[in-house]
Copies of this chain bind each other. A is one copy, B any other.
Amino acid sequence: MQDKRRITLKDIARDLGISISTASRALNSYSGISDETIKMVKDYAEKHNYVPNSIAVNFRKNKTLTIGMIVPELVHHFFSSVISGAISEANKQGYRLLVSQSDESLNNEIRACRSMLAGSVDGLIISISNETQEGSHIREFLDEGKPVIQFDKIIENLKTPKVITDDFESAYIAVKHLIDQGYKKIAHINGRKEVKNSIDRLQGYKQALLDHRLEFREDWVPHCTDISEKEGFDYAQQLMNLPTPPDAIFCITDLVALGALNFLKKNGYKVPQEVGVMGFSNWKIAEVVGPGLSSVDQHGFEMGEKATSLLLELLKEGLTGENKTYKIDTDLVIRESTQKS
């Protein structure tokens, strides 16, 4: 293997008979350098394929031009969309993205944070794991003056900017759509009771029922723990076997909705005529399943962009940011599964 040493500023300076500082200034087009010199140096650099050693630059400037991103799960339409948006925005501004995942484990999350904090990133964008309750490992960033943006799954009382889906509003709109379609007994397969997204969606669901004078029943609101297809199937079964079964099911997630849909299809319920089904997240499966699943699109890409631009702004200003919450709009995507009328 060849280890062709890269040409350095020193080489340029020597070959051109100028000083290193002049070469540096010329390449960075500082004021106070003659156009002549600038041209000479730039031409030489071009010709000899000079690439500044960015490790050295980083070292000198004490920054990395890299931002870290930690998500609970990478193989997931929503999170990969967010990452995609983050990369896009970061690259636009000359930054790179270091990606890690916690696999929903607090220990992994802490390890990832530590590794990034050791000097590989200038700031952090994170969506916490299910296990994370408290954020001392995240606070370490702030303590060193490195900004953090939380998104989607957040720790409320950690003083960072937050980018989230407006879960209340989105759930409200989704349920209102069901109501508008003429469904009257609307159940909600919710998520974990202690997770903010679940709580907010549940509130939005309740408020929509309240505002439209529809009945709310505790036994119409089961709570998932895994948020899996199987749970969707099982809870749909449980709901439909109630003495008073619902005529629509609003699901915490498309995967759960898929399970519900499968139960309903398998057992001869007509969707959407007898039972309406609404998902959340608008994954690819919502589009391809039969019948097409109405869902709420969370604009993951946009969320990634927003979180990144917020972080870069703070980086530019040298701040760690205020405790402000930014809500990203959602879109209700209406498909067959709720088209009763």
Interface residues of A (CB under 8 A from B): 1-4, 6, 51-59, 62, 64-66, 74-77, 80-81, 83-84, 87, 91, 96-101, 111-112, 115-120, 143-145, 229, 258, 265, 283-285, 288-290, 318-320
CB distance from A229 to the nearest CB of B (A): 8
B318 to A119, Cβ gap below 8 A? no
Per the bound structure, the CA–CA distance linking A87 and B112 in Å amounts to: 11
CB distance from A123 to the nearest CB of B (A): 12
B residues near A285, Cβ cutoff 8 Å:
284-285, 288
A-B residue pairs in contact (CB < 8 Å), sample of 23: A1-B318, A4-B145, A51-B119, A52-B119, A54-B118, A54-B119, A55-B55, A55-B59, A55-B120, A56-B59, A57-B119, A59-B59, A74-B80, A74-B84, A83-B99, A87-B99, A96-B98, A97-B98, A97-B100, A99-B99, A258-B288, A289-B290, A290-B290
A119 to B55, Cβ gap below 8 A? yes
One complex includes copies of this chain to the number of 2
B290 to A4, Cβ gap below 8 A? no
Q: A65: nearest residue on chain B (CB-CB)?
A: B120
B87 to A119, Cβ gap below 8 A? no
A80 to B75, Cβ gap below 8 A? yes
B80 to A1, Cβ gap below 8 A? no
CB distance from A97 to the nearest CB of B (A): 6
A319 contact from B1, B52, B62, B74, Cβ within 8 A: B1
B residues near A81, Cβ cutoff 8 Å:
75
A66 contact from B6, B91, B98, Cβ within 8 A: B98
Per the bound structure, the CA–CA distance linking A52 and B100 in Å amounts to: 21
A55 contact from B62, B101, B115, Cβ within 8 A: B62
Known pairs A53-B119, A55-B58, A55-B59. 4 more at Cβ < 8 A?
Answer: A55-B64, A56-B119, A74-B87, A284-B285
B residues near A59, Cβ cutoff 8 Å:
55-56, 58-59
B residues near A75, Cβ cutoff 8 Å:
77, 80-81, 84
B residues near A52, Cβ cutoff 8 Å:
118-119
B residues near A112, Cβ cutoff 8 Å:
91
Per the bound structure, the CA–CA distance linking A1 and B142 in Å amounts to: 8
CB distance from A24 to the nearest CB of B (A): 16
B residues near A99, Cβ cutoff 8 Å:
83, 87, 97-99
B144 to A6, Cβ gap below 8 A? yes
Per the bound structure, the CA–CA distance linking A6 and B55 in Å amounts to: 19
CB distance from A223 to the nearest CB of B (A): 23
What 5 pairs between A and B have smallest CB-CB spacing? Answer: A54-B119, A3-B145, A59-B59, A54-B118, A55-B119
